[in-house]
Amino acid sequence: MLEIKNLHADVNGREILKGLNLQVNAGEIHAIMGPNGAGKSTLASVLAGNPAFEVTEGEITFLGKDFMELAPEERAAEGFFLSFQYPVEIPGVSMVNFLRTAMNEQRKYRGQEPIPASDFLRLMKEKKELVEMQSNLTNRSVNEGFSGGEKKRSEIFQMAMLEPRLAVLDETDSGLDIDALRIVANGVNKLASPERAIIVITHYQRLLDYIVPDFVHVLFDGRIVKSGNKDLALRLESEGYDWIKKELE
Amino acid sequence: MSEDILEQVTQSEYKYGFTTDVETEIVPPGLSEDIVRLISQKKNEPEWLLEFRLKAYRHWAKMKMPNWAYLKIPEIDYQSISYYAAPKKKNLNSLDEVDPELLKTFDKLGIPLEEQKILSGVAVDAVMDSVSVKTTFKKELAERGIIFCSFSEAVQEYPDLVKQYMASVVPYDDNFFAALNSAVFSDGSFVYIPKGVRCPMELSTYFRINAINTGQFERTLIVADDDSYVSYLEGCTAPMRDENQLHAAIVEIVAMNNAEVKYSTVQNWYPGDKKGRGGIYNFVTKRGICKGKNSRISWTQVETGSAITWKYPSCILKGDNSSAEFYSVAVTNNHQQADTGTKMIHLGKNTSSHILSKGISAGLSQNSYRGLVYVGKEAENARNFSQCDSMLLSDRCGAHTFPYMEVNNDSAVVEHEATTSKISEDQIFYCNQRGIPTEEAVGLIVNGYAKEVLNKLPMEFAVEAQKLLQITLEGSVG
Ligand SMILES: Nc1ncnc2c1ncn2[C@@H]1O[C@H](COP(=O)(O)OP(=O)(O)O)[C@@H](O)[C@H]1O
Ligand SMILES: [Mg+2]
């Protein structure tokens, strides 16, 4: 589904990703871990097509398409979703309006008719229940005045609504108390399916108790330096990253 | 709602820029006492009105154009403008008599002029160039004693009302453009709501400049008698032309005891092209008086058009317990310039006013808010709250706020807040990531920013206004 080969990317002229390789197949859950500043969010931004980041080398193929050729909104319509580490606020724009615009733009790209209002509202209700989203949050402006936890839940709700093929969750667990964490993880698990792949970026093993990954990767200094199964996450939790640094020397 | 609108809007050019091929009668360019007399004569006006015009003309001839606004106004040659243009066929009683080309124009503008199409409950007065073409729903309104007709017709049919109220809010010598209008105004709308009547539908006027080389000088007078209510809408468009055209209108509103007038406008005169060529110069004097106790006037404006906008819809709060509101969204793009705002003149006791201004600047444009809050000596317990927000969409545009205050009574509470923001790249990217292209994202964010004001507009107008904001800003980011 997603194939990243030898990816190099700069921000403000500084190289952050330095030859990253990753393959993700449909139905898989991958976890990416790594110390602060390793380039995890940069990878997410580059996948999403954020113009602040420049890809200097390498390839990204998504569902057979060259991702580098596509604008961010086209990548979204092709089925790519990013749950942001820091979701922005858009004052005055209700979540309902925002999501309906997003959904209809994606449908337009795919040559589909706009979704009828009644179907949309039914879908909202269904997905809100799925991710246990409080109903008042969708009537408010996008992320405006939301607490950290509410923002993260709103991201997962948007993911549920847009039904992407591949979702990258960038530190969706940070700032959540244990109840919120459980709710978010449940939501994600319900959205997991054989056609869908999920990449979870996290610092903490505790999320992986709820969302069990098929693969765990360590991103270090712009590269994936080690891959394994969920036991790798447990070892990182107990021993930190020093042993990896040593292995690399 | 707005997602449908965003759907529909795909074109980035001014879509009202067509001209209509109707036979037009135009007086030769230039302004003199003879021209003033000619206009008055063409309109078959009573002597007192001619005298009024001449008085205004003589005063104007001695005046200079004001230069205090934050505007760069090229020299205007007032002798090169034609002051009267009218579609030739006149005195129309039924739709069948209206020039079909004209009807097509109004169709293109989306005005429900044909009676059978008017299911929306909007009564429309359409003014093409200077002459009022047709007023719909007149009969239904007449049954309640409501008068809604062209200004010229009002002069003929209701001279006493016109004489009593015309220039009672904006005197002929109020300012340069008001004097000019008072000398040469050609038509406009007249509204009278009798005592105790709630006007059952929105009253609406569309102004359209069509003829080349002409100015448009309409005059609107709205009088709401005791305990009455009316909501009035005004829309304006013009064809694309390389040269600038002058528009200098006057709007007067009178609200008697317990009366309420809501005045909404979506101003979309041709703004000129991307290089700043052409466009309407819009110099307008709009003022209302809350004359009676507990009366209320609200101005809501969405300003997207014109090369230059000079406009300060104002309110005199004379009646005790009266209140006034000014809600404004002003968008400027490319080389547009807008200097707009309001004056709230508190004279009665326990009066209150609310100002909410949202400026949006893009391209190389300049956008200024200019407001005055005046509290007179006798105005016990006056209240004002002003909120002036500016949003910038480029690094090369300007947003300016000039709030003035003059408070002569210690019991007054006057508050002012101002903010400036930029659309952030993060906001646009967030929208992009969800599948929303940048142009639509800008439209969405801007409409969100302006929502408080747009919500004040009647439904159909809100829809049009949202579309316009989107169109006006297309191509302005990225
Ligand atoms: N917009 C930016 N401008 C400048 N430097 C950035 C920007 N985004 C990230 N960086 C830098 O890139 C490096 C990797 O950051 P990031 O990808 O956010 O790390 P992680 O998510 O793994 O903690 C850090 O050194 C960070 O300071
Ligand atoms: Mg990060």
Question: Measuring CA to CA, how many Å separate A31 from each of A120, A230, A232?
Answer: 32, 9, 10
Residue B372 has pLDDT above 80, yes or no: yes
Nearest Cα of chain B lies from the Cα of A227 at a distance, in angstroms, of: 28
Do the beta carbons of residue B444 and residue B452 sit within 8 Å?
Answer: no
Which of A212, A206, A204 has its CA nearest to residue A188? A212
Q: Is the CB of A93 less than 8 angstroms away from the CB of B436?
A: no
Residue B185: inside a domain, yes or no? yes
Domain presence at residue B436: yes
Tell me which ligand sits closest to the C-alpha of residue A220.
1
Q: Is the CB of A12 under 6 A from ligand 1?
A: yes
Residue B269's domain comprises 2-473
The confidence score (pLDDT) of residue A214 equals: 93
| pLDDT higher than threshold 90 for residue B96 | no
Q: Which residues of B touch A105 (CB under 8 A)?
A: 435-437, 440
Contacts of B429 in chain A (CB under 8 A): 48, 50-52, 72
Q: What is the DSSP string of B367-405?
A: EEEEEEEEE-TT-TT-EEEEEEEEEE-SSS-EEEEEEEE
Pocket test for ligand 1, best of A11, A17, A46, A199 (most atoms within 8 A of CB): A11
Q: How far is CA A7 from CA A46, A47, B237, B290, B342, in A?
A: 10, 10, 53, 68, 57
A11 lines ligand 1 (CB under 6 A): yes
Q: How confident is residue B7, by pLDDT bands cut at 50, 70 and 90? A: very low
Q: What percent of chain B has pLDDT over 70?
A: 79
Whether B207 is in a domain gets the answer yes
Whether the predicted pLDDT of A16 surpasses 70? yes
DSSP state of A60: E
What does the pLDDT look like over B240-291, one tens digit per residue? 666 777 888 999 999 999 999 999 988 877 778 888 788 888 899 999 999 9
Tell me how far CA of residue B33 lies from CA of A146, B247, B382, in angstroms: 66, 20, 45
pLDDT at B79: 86
Q: Which residues of B touch A71 (CB under 8 A)?
A: 432, 437
Question: How far apart are the C-alpha atoms of B133 and B126, rounded to whole Å?
Answer: 6
List C-alpha distances in Å: A155 to A133, A144, A170, B144. 10, 13, 10, 55
If one counts the domains in chain B, the total is: 1
The ligand 1 atom nearest the CA atom of A170: 21
Contact A36 CB / ligand 1 (< 6 Å): yes
pLDDT tens digits, one per residue of B137-195: 777 788 899 998 889 889 999 999 999 999 999 999 999 999 999 999 988 889 999 99
The set of residues, in sequence order, having a beta carbon less than 8 Å from that of B388 and lying 6+ positions away, is B355, B357, B359, B369, B371, B401, B403, B416, B417, B418, B419
Kindly report, residue by residue over B354-369, the tens digit of the pLDDT: 999 999 888 888 898 9
Q: Which residues of A touch B432 (CB under 8 A)?
A: 49, 71-73, 76
Q: Residue B211: pLDDT band by 50, 70, 90 thresholds? A: low
B407 torsion bin: left (phi>0), alpha (psi -120 to 50), beta (else): beta
Q: What is the pLDDT of residue B87?
A: 58
HSE of B277 in the Cβ direction (CA atoms, 13 Å)? 5
Q: Which of the ligands is closest to the CA of residue A34? A: 1
Examine the pLDDT at B129 and tell me if it is beyond 60. no
Q: Residue B187: which of B228, B128, B242 has the closest Cα?
A: B128
pLDDT band at B6 (very low <50, low <70, confident <90, very high): very low
In this structure, are residues A3 and A23 in contact, taking their beta carbons and an 8 Å threshold?
yes
The reply to whether B57 falls in a domain is: yes
Give the span between the Cα atoms of B427 and B445, in whole angstroms: 8
pLDDT digits (tens, 9 = 90+) for B376-405: 999 999 999 999 999 988 888 889 999 999
pLDDT digits (tens, 9 = 90+) for B404-444: 999 999 999 999 999 998 888 899 999 999 999 998 898 89
Average of per-residue pLDDT across A232-238: 85
* Integer Rg of chain A from CA: 18
Contacts of B142 by beta carbon, 8 Å cutoff, 6+ apart: none
- Percent helix / strand / coil, chain B, rounded to 5: 25, 35, 40
B478 falls within a domain: no
Per-residue confidence band for A68, with pLDDT thresholds at 50, 70 and 90 = very high
- Our CA-based measurement puts residue B346 at a distance from the nearest CA of chain A, in whole angstroms, of 32
ipTM of this predicted structure: 0.96
At B5 the pLDDT is 30
Tell whether B159 is covered by a domain: yes
**B405 domain residue, yes or no:** yes
Question: Whole-model pTM?
Answer: 0.81
* Backbone angles phi and psi of B214, in degrees to 5: -115, 155
Name the pairing type of β-strands B131-135 and B219-224: unpaired
